[in-house]
Structure 1
Amino acid sequence: MDKFGLEMTITHQPLGFSYGDDVTGPMPEIRTLEQIRPSLRNPDCTGPEQVYAIAMDVARLADRQELEKRMLLFGVVTYAAGTLGDEPVRSQGHVHRISQHSGWSPPELYEIWQGKAIIYMQERVEDDPGRCFAVLAGPGDKVLVPPGWGHATISASPDVPLTFGAWCDREYGFEYDAVRARKGLAWYPLVQGNHIIWQHNPHYQPGRLQTITPRRYSEFGITDAPIYQQFIDDPARFQFISRPDRAAELWQNFHP
């Protein structure tokens, strides 16, 4: 996986990662089916027992000091192949907790490494969820989730385990309560043949879902290069992730 800027190997049995000589990272945390049942449309479904593995704070040794100074953290996630009943394998859906050092709920920048993903996001986790988007992404694509939005990452390739990297705030935290109180986010993805279809969650006001493809986010200085390599080339480039206040005007009327 060094084509994405980090020397890593993805493992599937068991689910997780191994790191190259100059890369460090934690033992991956495994999210089991039992743990994520409360956020599924059908909590009694069957599926892979280990749903996904997540490793937060993966980095080259040479970059650790700079990342800590900039309050940045790189996370890597890999999903199991298969489905969760009639739902695709997916994260639970959450909002990022407000970081004390910035006073903002941090944004997050994803890059798909293998498989196909849908990054689902909605403006708010309230009765009126605001604008709702499903961003369809494949290997090399980048997707930016803005501050404060509810979001989930969904596998759109049941036969190919989805793997992705993401830039996050070092003081990251996930809030699930508002999502779980509404039995999930505003739209449920369902597997139908080779396609993902969508069902509205009745715990929200009716609205519409916009399905889109990734864009470049040139206003943030993001290029087509791998996002970890972009940090190596310019350590200041992703400061807007840990200090979203410095890009406040760009978040107004943001369109994924």
Structure 2
Amino acid sequence: MRCWWNGALPAPGIRTIRDMRSVLAAPSCRVTDPLYYMYRDLARLEADRRWLTDHRLRYDITVIPPRDLCGEHVKTKGHYHPDNAAGTGYPELYEVLDGTAQFLLQSRPLDDVILVHADTGARVIIPPGYGHITINPSPGVTLVLANLVSTAFESEYGEYESRHGAAYYVMRDGRIIKNRHYPAMPPVRRYTVVRGEGAAGRTSTGPIYSLIGNRGALAFLNEPEKYPDVFTGLLKG
């Protein structure tokens, strides 16, 4: 982990099996804690922290060790982002620092579900109006993710909790099982993000941390309505 962060680390937030039972395919699953770790509001330099604060942004790292959740891949809890003042949902920018990630996205109207595959070095943009979970599909490699996101909102977990997870469960044996607590759903679309390419097909190089200080590159995180082209590649599938 520390090879991806050369500054001081705060105590992480920790997700336990108790936190996750409501969103699991097997809610009675018994595994040892913790399931994953969340390092929030990081900055290597005080100048970086001031810039992030002034621009209502936050840089985080999430560490997800490989786990078997009673037949399901280990995953994050899942949430939606609310709309901003202009009526457009807040997006989020991820980077896979190590390992392989799958992002299971679902639109609020439940008319689109996307399983995004991303290897080390890939960037993934969560588009406005999509809830998402992150999955570590590896049996033996810890997944390390960085993200940049607006600080102007609180994530909304309620629908994932009330519906017992995302619309589909991604199982370790390769099956993708529909969650019975959802209505009829479209089939899962698959999308692979290539390293060196943004989720919208834009060329992007270097770690997302290097974007700190570049307002033009990150303005879409607070004002997504002004940058619709950022999201078109992923949404076209």
- Say if 1:50 and 1:80, in contact at 8 Å, map to a contact too: no
The correspondence of residues 1-256 of structure 1 with structure 2, limited to 5 A, is 8-9=2-3, 20=6, 23=7, 26-61=10-45, 62-99=47-84, 104-124=88-108, 126=109, 129-192=110-173, 196-202=174-180, 203-215=182-194, 216-217=197-198, 223-231=204-212, 234-248=214-228, 250-251=230-231, 254-255=235-236
- Matched AA of 1:197: R
Deviation of the 1:169 alpha carbon:
0.6
- Matched AA of 2:152: E
TM-score by length of 1: 0.81
- Gaps in structure 2 of 5+ consecutive residues: none
- Say if 2:23 and 2:161, in contact at 8 Å, map to a contact too: yes
Higher strand share: 1
Deviation of the 1:139 alpha carbon:
0.6
SS for the counterpart of 2:216 is coil
- Gaps in structure 1 of 5+ consecutive residues: 2-7, 11-18
Q: How far, CA to CA, are the matches of 2:9 and 2:151 in structure 1?
A: 14
Deviation of the 1:250 alpha carbon:
4.8
Identity within the alignment, %: 28
How many equivalent pairs are there? 232
Deviation of the 1:242 alpha carbon:
2.0
- Say if 1:25 and 1:57, in contact at 8 Å, map to a contact too: no
The two structures, once aligned, show a CA RMSD in angstroms of 2.4
Q: How far, CA to CA, are the matches of 1:26 and 1:241 in structure 2?
A: 24
- Say if 2:125 and 2:199, in contact at 8 Å, map to a contact too: no
